[in-house]
Amino acid sequence: MNKKALYGILLAMLLPLAGYVILKKSSEKGVVMPRKYYADSVITSTKDGKRYSDTVWHQMPDITFTNQLGEKVSWKDMEGKIILADFFFTHCPTICAAMTRNMKELQNGIHNHEKAGTREPNFIQFLSISIDPERDSVRNLKKWADRFQVDPSNWWLVTGDRKEIYDLSINHMKLLAQDGELIDSNFLHTDFFVLLDRNRVVRGYYHGLDEKELARLSHDIVLLALEKDPKRKSFFAGKLELLGIVFLISALAIIILITFLKKDRRRNEPKPAKE
């Protein structure tokens, strides 16, 4: 084996590792993920003399809704999805129609390219929650959905228990803390879209009538779609150093093997006859 072939083997072995390391480092430095809101607690532990801390982020509580199709749905039915939520009511004379149109634009503009042949954004669930459950029956929700041509495959207009809905918006999504103009919490009304990650943790608030805010929201949805679940470790997690050592040992073994074969071949070559 000549030197060019040897260098080619070594390059083929080292390039994948180098590329992975470079890509990992550049992605860590260049991308700022949407922040997480509302820590419940911070757990500290010590291992091998080092102190570690793990933040437990606040998750949305279990709650059951009824959607515009008359189906009972809960967070479990949205498991593994990013959730974009807002609050509205069908008798709203002001901002609700405009917010629904903007959410419709978001639904139309986000497409899932993970599967060939489909344009449905099945990594995200749109959720419009009625703050007037007494009047917003399934029939009224369906009329509102039909008016705006809502696709129910990943957008639910829901109603439910009034106390649970207001507890969700005020105490868990903390919309009163975000909007200082809200005065009457007995009839919560806000123009915020709330973005939740796959673990039902708040990752952002966006004014649903502001174009710049909607652009920022679209950007953050893409980032969350690419975010890895920390509970599911990558195959390479914590193994880069080991892989590097394996590659180097393999390369060294190949060099030793080639050297040995060359010496063995020279030893076995017939010697020229003496004159």
In the chain, where the domains are located: 60-226
CB 60 within 8 A of CB 114: no
Choices 3.40.30.10, 3.40.50.880, 3.40.50.300, 3.30.479.30: CATH for 60-226: 3.40.30.10
The span from the CA of 60 to the CA of 75, in Å, is: 9
> Which pLDDT tens digit goes with each residue over 250-263?
555 566 666 666 66
Q: With cut-offs at 50, 70 and 90, classify the pLDDT of residue 273.
A: low
Whether the per-residue pLDDT at 115 is higher than 50: the answer is no
What is the reported pLDDT for 160? 96
Residue 68: Cβ within 10 Å count: 23
What is the reported pLDDT for 24? 54
Region 199-220 average pLDDT? 94
What is the reported pLDDT for 69? 97
Whether the per-residue pLDDT at 118 is higher than 50: the answer is no
What is the reported pLDDT for 183? 41
CB 36 within 8 A of CB 201: yes
Please state at what angle helix 96-109 crosses helix 211-226, rounded to 10 degrees.
Answer: 40
Q: Provide the 8-state DSSP code for 204.
A: E
Mean model confidence pLDDT for the chain: 78
Region 71-98 average pLDDT? 94
Angle (CA) 87-162-142 rounded to 5° is 55
